[in-house]
Chains A and B, each alone.
Chain A
């Protein structure tokens, strides 16, 4: 892998250069406590030390709502509304979210690729940014705290700049096209990179490896945690909407008033909603809050072959943004550790 360094004072200029290549998005502070990925107008607004964004980066490739086609009912014809493939650059993506995107890829660019997702993804540039964990983070036990793939560039903080790993040819081009911003790394930079990594790793509140979590969960499917915690759940779906790997979508036809045409839209759905498993005739495959709650714990801990990780990447959003303060990590640890006699 190629490594270069960008000194702190050159970062803003580099971001300006990126803006010329497409729409630039990055983490911005949007309220006293929260951050989100937003289009970057003034590059000085980019937050380099944010904990997590409310919405996950998948929204750039799989938007909250999109029209899949418009239709003409008289001739029963459809007109697909594919993305135009405008280039976008997402700056400041944390390692866990990069794995999240790779998990999205594994399901949306498989042997039956989703064209809407694929076109956007092929026109997206991902620039990663290393971070220090807070008490909500558990990417370490998910093996998603350090990424090998899924980024064009990845920035690791140094005292006077960033050490950059170059992940793709696109990444190499970004460096080549702006040589004035970059320099070769020194042995001091290498030392500082190692120091940062040691510090980062020591800060996790949970250590170890959760590769066997899914088996521990499966051996205790009736654990009392599910009933106790789902009783507190409001069923609001915040956990799934903020999740970087949740990808359930609902589809709806919106006819025009005269009925001659309309559009078919798809929009984010949540397995926490009652309607998720409801079929014609009134049968519901997941009729209670408990089974819906249980379902999410199973789905998030399932195994993704592409990344060899769980579908949950340990970003902590589902807990951080839960209005009922349901602690996903602690609940999993409870089942993992004790079995609860179930």
Chain B
């Protein structure tokens, strides 16, 4: 094996913002293209991976990629206006330039998903990385069995990509895809209510031959795991995408450290995707 090139570790690429779509009050979707055609040609990622986005002079933030890995030269980031850097990112206009490094993290092991049904369960911003898995499955439809996606949030207007998912309804029926969108605490919401686990019974998947990917707050995982195992889902095929303070993205800076003395992990490098057995053997992971 040849020695890894140290200059690749933190290498950044110039990217141009092409479009900005408003999603909710606090979240926007940003479509970027690599400025260098050679990078645009060669840059690849897997669903569940993230990039570090730099606004020079302001700082750098880790953001999950939410577009399809099949779409090359472009990528989309769903960014919540939450802090100093993301507030500046929300001010960007089409044509503006940023710098990107990555992709980082292990991503979802997609070979563990093939020829099986697919269950995606997202809560809140968890929809961003799972949208990447969902679009990947649509773009490689023949590699997957039945597909269910459960998208949940507190309020109906906070549901990420709600319109996009709604618009897919016709093709979803034709493609054996069940789309469930639920608001957990919204009296004004006309659609489904209740938390994601309460809609598991509506999934069109066979638990015994289904791979599941979950992304949401830690308390959702606990209730989801209990229910999924009761329903007969195979724990070897349950994956979660965890977020920590992934500052460097390459297992160096230490901010995303998780675990205990026997199971010390860097979320950015050992994760952010972990499986069920990681969760039960690494205290503090969720």
Q: Which of B70-78, B205-213, B257-265 contacts A (4 or more CB under 8 A)?
A: B257-265
Q: Are B59 and A277 in contact (CB under 8 A)?
A: no
B179 within 8 A of A: no
Contact A298 B264, CB 8 Å, known A279-B245, A280-B82, A280-B83? yes
B211 to chain A, nearest CB (A): 27
B29 within 8 A of A: no
List B10-64 residues whose CB lies under 8 Å from chain A: 10, 12, 14, 56-61
Q: Are A281 and B251 in contact (CB under 8 A)?
A: no
A298 to chain B, nearest CB (A): 5
CB closest residue in chain B, given A213? B261
CB closest residue in chain A, given B256? A285
Contacts of B264 in A (CB 8 A): 298-299, 302-303, 311
Q: Out of B7, B58, B86, B250, which one reaches A280, CB within 8 Å?
A: B86
List A192-230 residues whose CB lies under 8 Å from chain B: 213-215, 217-218, 221
B248 within 8 A of A: yes
Contact A247 B254, CB 8 Å, known A115-B7, A301-B261? yes
A105 to chain B, nearest CB (A): 12
Q: How many A-B residue pairs have CB under 8 A?
A: 127
CB closest residue in chain A, given B97? A76
Q: Are B99 and A78 in contact (CB under 8 A)?
A: yes
CB closest residue in chain A, given B58? A253
A306 within 8 A of B: no
**A75–B96 Cα gap in the complex (Å)?**
10
B154 within 8 A of A: no
B9 within 8 A of A: yes
A178 within 8 A of B: no
B4 to chain A, nearest CB (A): 5
Contacts of A269 in B (CB 8 A): 253-255
Q: Are B251 and A76 in contact (CB under 8 A)?
A: no
Contacts of A271 in B (CB 8 A): 254, 257
Contact A255 B260, CB 8 Å, known A113-B9, A249-B252? no
B199 within 8 A of A: no
Contacts of A253 in B (CB 8 A): 56-60
**A301–B245 Cα gap in the complex (Å)?**
22
**A12–B109 Cα gap in the complex (Å)?**
59
CB closest residue in chain A, given B269? A112
Contacts of A276 in B (CB 8 A): 245, 255
B91 to chain A, nearest CB (A): 14
**A301–B260 Cα gap in the complex (Å)?**
9
B84 within 8 A of A: yes
B283 within 8 A of A: yes
Bits for A47-60, please: 1 = Cβ < 8 Å to B, else 0.
Answer: 00000000000000
A-side interface mostly: mixed
Q: Are B252 and A247 in contact (CB under 8 A)?
A: yes
List A62-108 residues whose CB lies under 8 Å from chain B: 68, 71-73, 75-78, 107-108
CB closest residue in chain A, given B9? A112
Contact A113 B57, CB 8 Å, known A217-B260, A221-B283? no
How many of chain A's residues touch chain B, expressed as a range? 35 or more
Contact A76 B253, CB 8 Å, known A278-B245, A301-B261? no
A252 within 8 A of B: yes
**A107–B8 Cα gap in the complex (Å)?**
16
Contacts of A221 in B (CB 8 A): 260, 283
Contacts of A72 in B (CB 8 A): 56
Most-contacted residue by chain A among B6, B84, B86, B98 (CB, 10 A): B6
A272 to chain B, nearest CB (A): 12
**A190–B81 Cα gap in the complex (Å)?**
68
A325 within 8 A of B: no
**A276–B262 Cα gap in the complex (Å)?**
22
Q: Are B10 and A298 in contact (CB under 8 A)?
A: no
A231 within 8 A of B: no
**A49–B9 Cα gap in the complex (Å)?**
40
Contacts of B8 in A (CB 8 A): 112
Contacts of A107 in B (CB 8 A): 251-252
Contacts of A279 in B (CB 8 A): 82-83, 245
**A301–B85 Cα gap in the complex (Å)?**
35
Q: Are A251 and B248 in contact (CB under 8 A)?
A: yes
A13 within 8 A of B: no
A positions within 8 Å CB-CB of B: 68, 71-73, 75-78, 107-108, 110-115, 118-119, 213-215, 217-218, 221, 247-253, 255, 259, 262, 264, 266, 269, 271, 276-281, 285, 295, 297-299, 301-303, 311
Beyond A113-B9, A251-B247, A285-B244, list 4 extra A-B contacts (CB 8 Å).
Answer: A78-B56, A215-B261, A279-B245, A298-B261
B positions within 8 Å CB-CB of A: 4, 6-10, 12, 14, 56-61, 80, 82-86, 97-99, 244-245, 247-248, 250-255, 257, 259-262, 264, 269, 283
7 nearest A-B pairs in the assembled complex, by CB-CB distance: A280-B83, A248-B254, A302-B264, A214-B261, A115-B6, A280-B82, A255-B57
Could you jot down 22 A-B contacts, CB within 8 Å?
A77-B14, A111-B4, A112-B252, A113-B4, A114-B250, A214-B260, A217-B261, A218-B283, A247-B252, A248-B254, A251-B247, A259-B57, A262-B56, A271-B257, A276-B245, A277-B255, A279-B83, A281-B82, A285-B245, A302-B259, A302-B261, A303-B264
